[in-house]
A and B are shown apart, each in its own frame.
Chain A
Amino acid sequence: MSSAKPKVALFVTCLVDLFRPSAAFAAVTLLEAAGCTVDAPQSQTCCGQPAYNSGDKADAMALAVQTIRALMDYEYVVVPSGSCAAMIRHHYPDLMAGDAELAAQARALAAKTYELTQFLHDVMHYKPDAAASGNITYHDACSGLRELGVQAQPRALLQSPILENDDGETCCGFGGTFCVKYTDVSTAIADKKLDKFSATGATIVTGGDLGCLMHLAGRAARRGMDLQFRHVAEILAGDIQTPAIAGPEK
């Protein structure tokens, strides 16, 4: 690494952009604290994962091309979501396999794209000044866990004992459009997960993927459960003033 500050593009992800800007600002704070300069290029929108997983390859490719062009000139791309990061790292090269030039660009982008905690821990060797406080449990979102191997990094960054549930590698039932297409199954899966979280004695559920957190928080609120949901970037950046996801009804 050169002595100059690494130039990082934040790929915000559509959910964080629209519903939880505080997580993106927390990510910026963390990246700067880790010694990076951060930009969030305006030409970014959605990574194309909803189209890709719904079978719409043409639109997924168009969005992938747009995203590649928006991000390709940066030294690193950091994403506050394991699922969108995995889309870029694993699925863009597959999607572009039919076009040599685009495939090369996709591979180049994939090689420098990281999930936020993965980047902070593995690349920047960053360590927050203070350990997170509170009774925290962590939700390992599936794409980050299985496609990127994100599991130890957020725990190392949080530096406080995590109240682990006994079924940590099982899905929460979100699954993108799956959660509205098969609402009842998705909700039943969420209920199992929420009961596991409750059983840990945790009061805060954190994780790296806003989709899962919104789904879990929305279900927990409907059930009247006493759990707070926060993106891991906010906890690492010490932002506990912002109301939790799906926080107070009024």
Chain B
Amino acid sequence: MQRRPAAFNANAKEALLDADLQRALGAAEAGFGVKRRKAITGLPEFDALCDQATAIKDHVLDHLDIYLERFETQVFASGGMVHWCEDAEQARQIILKLCQSVNAKMVTKGKSMVSEEIGLNPFLEANTIHPVETDLGEYIIQLADEPPSHIIGPALHKTKDQVSALFHEHHPAIGYPDRLEEGEALVGEARAILRQKYLQADVGITGANFLIAETGSTVIVTNEGNGDMTQIFPRMHIVIASIEKIVPTLEDAATLLRVLARSATGQEMSVYTTFSTGPKRRNDADGPEQFHVVLLDNGRSELLGGSQRDILRCIRCGACMNNCPVYMAAGGHAYGATYMGPMGSVLTPNLTGLKQAQALPFASSFCGKCESVCPMRIPLPRLMRELRSDAHAARITPVRERFWLALWSWVAQRPELYHALTRIGLGVLRLLGRGRGRFRWLPLAGGWTATRDFPAPQGKSFMAQWAKQKRPGA
């Protein structure tokens, strides 16, 4: 599978032939769908909450500078530091400097998509600092040396058997010789290994689901508690978060939390919701000595004034991909980017440039289910359509597609010519078809007939028949 969005089609073909992946996706699709529906039916005010959540984020995006500065002030007041980073390189360098300042050899990490976005793990490795992922899914894919295939279920593409084999490949060397098959046993083994890491780590790095301006707090949600241990035991806690994660108040964070878990896993709340405010205080029993927040822009502020702004409301629940037929067929790796599914098909071209990523906004049937399940009311099909327009205007869509489309549109704008040409076209098909109801192959229609028969036209067009007699036999 190629790590570039331009390879989406080739990647998807490969994914469709991968029986393990298809089994994993099938289980995920069924599970996510049922759980989300159940959670939402159980909360009659869910729609109203989504409206409220959407309004909160819209308000924040209108006043992002103010809230970011307020957040910084509050972090500082509670004894922490905020580091502003324009791009991925700056963020990597700051994090490296912070790690080096405490002579870090090993860092534990909570789940963070922004860390994936900036390619933090390979960068730390290259600088002789060993990152250890502590979210079970992230731990699995770190062993497999793969990127996450889903924003909340990074190892969603793996079956239990694959995880069992993977653990048995890596764990005997660190004192776990037996191959385990049961889910609970596999989790137990990973937990035992990770427990040691928490205690040994010099720095703990987590992401943030929300940053709260009023208190300078960062918020993470997890189901494993790994985030808490990642950030509490080491001397230094680094939070890496993108600027749009900010919310004004604790109350606002609570509103967003109520829609987040329900939309994501179908839980009412995640098992752990952790608020971090500054380092350990004088009378605290535990906590890090240093608290740093690395704030990443990486192209987001440029979206603020434009037509793609709505994507900045995204709270990374994953509902759009869980309900996307394309994602559930091709899997997350096919997108060849950090972010996948409908939100990724919008965000990736906006962050990395449309030229490399123009295949992604086209990787949608525009069925609209993503928009219908998005708790933040992001009009994903509209945003993808706008990116398609930009790609068309920049002439970076495939030449062959532009040619056929232009020809069709040119003819369709000349009704008399259109009706004359379609008459000829239908006549040719009639000759080719010789009474058949369908074609197994047609010239220039390989994109259709590779996998589908092409239904033969019935005969003359409706418009031709209507013009002649207004009704057959009338």
Contacts and interface: CB of A to CB of B under 8 A. Distances in A.
Given A142-B369, A143-B368, A182 B455 contact: no
B435 to A, nearest CB: 7
Contact of B415 (A19, A44, A217): A44
A173 interface: yes
Interface stretch (B88-96, B101-109, B357-365): B357-365
B450 interface: yes
A214 B449 CA distance: 12
Contact of B458 (A19, A40, A217): A19
A62 interface: yes
A205 to B, nearest CB: 13
A25 B459 CA distance: 13
A17 interface: yes
B454 A218 contact: yes
Given A21-B465, A45-B415, A56-B409, A170 B369 contact: yes
B397 A21 contact: no
B405 A56 contact: yes
A81 to B, nearest CB: 13
Contacts of B426: 18
Contacts of A173: 325, 329, 365
B401 interface: yes
Interface stretch (B112-120, B196-204, B213-221, B387-395): B387-395
B317 interface: no
B267 interface: no
Contacts of A218: 438, 448, 452-455
Interface stretch (B8-16, B57-65, B166-174, B270-278): B8-16
A214 B455 contact: yes
Interface residues of B, number: 71
Interface string A147-189: 1000000000000000000000111011111111111111111
B283 interface: no
Interface in A58-100: 59-60, 62-63, 66
Interface stretch (B76-84, B178-186, B466-474): B466-474
A140 to B, nearest CB: 11
Given A21-B461, A42-B463, A55-B385, A142 B362 contact: no
A101 interface: no
A185 B329 contact: yes
Given A25-B462, A181-B401, A247-B437, A217 B455 contact: yes
Contacts of A5: none
Interface in A16-72: 16-22, 24-25, 28, 40, 42-46, 48, 50-57, 59-60, 62-63, 66
Contacts of A175: 364-367
A178 B362 contact: yes
A60 B393 CA distance: 13
A183 B453 contact: no
A246 B438 contact: yes
B406 A142 contact: no
B457 interface: yes
A25 B456 CA distance: 18
Given A50-B408, A52-B385, A249-B436, A66 B415 contact: yes
A176 to B, nearest CB: 7
Contacts of B325: 170-171, 173, 189, 192
A222 interface: yes
B454 A185 contact: no
Contacts of A171: 325, 365, 367, 369
A56 B448 contact: no
B352 interface: no
A146 B372 contact: yes
B368 A40 contact: no
B41 interface: no
A219 B413 contact: no
24 contacts: A17-B462, A21-B458, A21-B465, A42-B415, A45-B419, A48-B412, A56-B406, A59-B409, A63-B413, A143-B368, A173-B325, A178-B366, A179-B447, A180-B447, A181-B401, A183-B448, A184-B16, A186-B365, A189-B329, A215-B452, A221-B453, A246-B453, A246-B456, A247-B438
Interface of A: 12, 14, 16-22, 24-25, 28, 40, 42-46, 48, 50-57, 59-60, 62-63, 66, 142-143, 146-147, 169-171, 173-190, 192, 214-215, 217-219, 221-222, 242-250
Interface of B: 8-9, 12-13, 16, 325-326, 329-330, 362-369, 371-372, 385, 387-393, 397, 401-402, 405-406, 408-413, 415, 418-419, 422, 425-426, 435-438, 440, 445, 447-448, 450-463, 465-467, 471-472
Given A146-B368, A222-B440, 8 more contacts: A17-B462, A17-B463, A59-B410, A62-B409, A171-B369, A221-B452, A221-B453, A246-B454
